[in-house]
Chain A
Amino acid sequence: MVKKKRDRIRIEEMIEVIMKVGQGDLSVQLDLSGKDDLLDSLAMGLNMMIDDLGSTHAVEVQNEKFKQINTELEKAIDRAQESERLKTAFLANMSHEIRTPLNSILGFSELLSPDLEEGQFEDYSEIIRNSGIQLLQIIDDILDFSKLESNQLPLFFSLCNINKIMQEVYITQKQSKKLRQSDTIQLKEPQIELSNDIYLKTDPVRLKQILNNLINNAIKFTKEGFVEFGFSIKAGSRGEMIEFYVKDTGIGISDTKQKAIFERFIQVDSFSMKEGNGLGLSICKGLVELLGGVIWVESIVDEGSCFYFTLPFSDQGEMGVTKQVEQHNGKWSLSGSKVFIAEDNLDSLTYLEEVLLIEGVIVKTALDGQSLLELLKEDTPDLILLDINMPVKNGYETIAEIRKSGLTMPVIAQTAYAMPEERSTILAAGCTDYISKPIQRTKLLSLIREVLKKDSK
């Protein structure tokens, strides 16, 4: 029994503090009377217990934070391991993808001989060429993918006629090997809602790349039926947009895989050993997002898929002024023209020389920039084909000296770097134009004609 009123108040204070602690308030403390009596010792004990509870609570809060961090770390490790696993699978697949066309190139090259039966030479050459194109596509995909991954893929915007792009993609795809060989798959002409030409400010090369990738995939995964593509203008939350689609009647994609297929290295059916490097859709997604749009898929297994992507659009139709690029369809004879080639790789040099000699071009060759400069002291060509990466004096140093000496003839740079930004560097250095390796005969001749024709004006 508590006799003194003051002691009773102190005990009531203790009860109040205990209740507050019970409700989770660990900031409370009891005042000591200074009498150092039993009640003070009780209060001191309570204060120190509350402190301990606070410390324990702080440790628990910290532990909870650590737990969260650990959970996030575990997830990150899982993601890294999954990425690593996919990378390994990707490398194995890529090895297969690269070796397959290489196998054809090397195998059929060995079979080429003067003793071949009629038609065989052309057939083998066609296989070698197609395998080369396939290999080039793989290399382009890897380069694009690595650029997208490091946010270094430059875009080159211009006002594009979308109807025209759709038509060009249709013509390209119509000539694809699988479509030509199959009578069970039909590629429908692009579905275009509007009869007027639609102009869109975008990167036409990348837009075609996205469409071609999606259509290639659609054809690849369709045994019979049709593949169709088109676009329509839609109203979105951020204004009008063009919605493109590529639809097929192929194997379809299950709900669970629909998101994953846009992730790098993932293929619709990892076990089906379909050809492809698993980068296509990942590149599409990266490109669409770079161009300001979104990409998604709707699909039913065994019925087909429809891939959609949007690009931001504002009506630029009438006001758009498209740059008229002069077409050079008519052949301009190169016979008698004089071309100097600077190239350190003997195979590449021989190829360029052969291509030009067939056209009647007078050719002189140099194995490095310094040798080319020596040649230029003796003679002046109509045009120079200049490799960039050369020993003794590289392409940049060579073009600088050519221009410094007052020579103004067109110079076409040729390089294996193949990065779009390389072009602007090369042009700024003083070259007239640029062509990337591997150099296709028709492209090279067309470019030379264009450059020489311009120069002759």
Chain B
Amino acid sequence: MGDIDEEIKVREISDKEIWVNTNKFSLIYDNIIYVIAVGEQTTEFAKAQAEICMKMSALIKGKVNFLIDLNKSGKNSPGARKMWKTLIEHDNTEKVATFGLHPVAKVIASFVMRVSSGNKMRFFSTKEEAIAWLRE
């Protein structure tokens, strides 16, 4: 239910690779922020990730795309989903592609997608399919 207070650790490997706890953020193809979500996504955790996304967005000329790997993601709290909604609906966001092979990832994606209106966001089984859609 409620988020447990947890310590948020941010590690900047380079401008293009930042870790927030177990989640990895990297910049690929110049305009895609690639997020590997691992474990439970709490509200506080999500807020820290949003800041990293905004920071990385500043490196991108033009609109930003997101590629989110949900294969190892745990539950997304309602607060975290709300944060994703804000990010997805941001004017500077072009498209958001989530992917995962197993049914759990699909369920998580459906909950995240539910909060967002429009067709900016889609779910794919594989990373390749997702990237292909983003680069269309």
Given contacts A26-B1, A27-B1, contact A48 B103 (CB under 8 A): no
Most chain A CB inside 10 Å of its own CB: which residue of B74, B77, B78: B78
Q: Which residues of B contact A32 (CB under 8 A)?
A: 74, 104
Stretch at the interface among A37-45, A146-154, A266-274: A37-45
Flag whether B60 is at the interface (Cβ < 8 A).
Answer: no
Q: Which residues of A contact B75 (CB under 8 A)?
A: 44, 47-48, 51
Once the chains bind, are A55 and B78 in contact (CB under 8 Å)? yes
Flag whether A204 is at the interface (Cβ < 8 A).
Answer: no
CB closest residue in chain A, given B82:
A55
Flag whether A36 is at the interface (Cβ < 8 A).
Answer: yes
Once the chains bind, are B78 and A41 in contact (CB under 8 Å)? no
- CA of A223 to CA of B5, assembled, Å: 77
Instruction: Tell me how far the C-beta of A206 lies from the nearest C-beta in chain B, rounded to whole angstroms.
Output: 58
Instruction: Tell me how far the C-beta of A112 lies from the nearest C-beta in chain B, rounded to whole angstroms.
Output: 84
Flag whether A54 is at the interface (Cβ < 8 A).
Answer: yes
Once the chains bind, are B111 and A41 in contact (CB under 8 Å)? no
Interface size range of chain A in the complex:
10 to 19
Flag whether A140 is at the interface (Cβ < 8 A).
Answer: no
* Number of B positions contacting A (CB below 8 A): 14
Which residues 19-37 of A sit at the B interface, judged by CB distance below 8 A? 26-27, 29, 32, 36-37
Q: Which residues of A contact B1 (CB under 8 A)?
A: 26-27, 29, 50-51, 54
Instruction: Tell me how far the C-beta of A37 lies from the nearest C-beta in chain B, rounded to whole angstroms.
Output: 7
Flag whether B55 is at the interface (Cβ < 8 A).
Answer: no
Bitwise, B105-132 to A at CB < 8 A (1) or not (0) is 1111001000000000000000000000
Tell me which of A26, A27, A37, A50 contacts B102 (CB under 8 A): A37
Q: Which residues of B contact A50 (CB under 8 A)?
A: 1
Bitwise, A281-315 to B at CB < 8 A (1) or not (0) is 00000000000000000000000000000000000
Once the chains bind, are A44 and B77 in contact (CB under 8 Å)? no
Q: Which residues of B contact A41 (CB under 8 A)?
A: 102-104, 106-107
CB closest residue in chain A, given B1:
A54
Given contacts A26-B1, A27-B1, contact A40 B78 (CB under 8 A): no
Flag whether A52 is at the interface (Cβ < 8 A).
Answer: yes
CB closest residue in chain A, given B105:
A36
Given A44-B104, A44-B107, A48-B108, 5 new contacts (CB under 8 A)? A37-B103, A41-B102, A41-B104, A41-B106, A48-B76
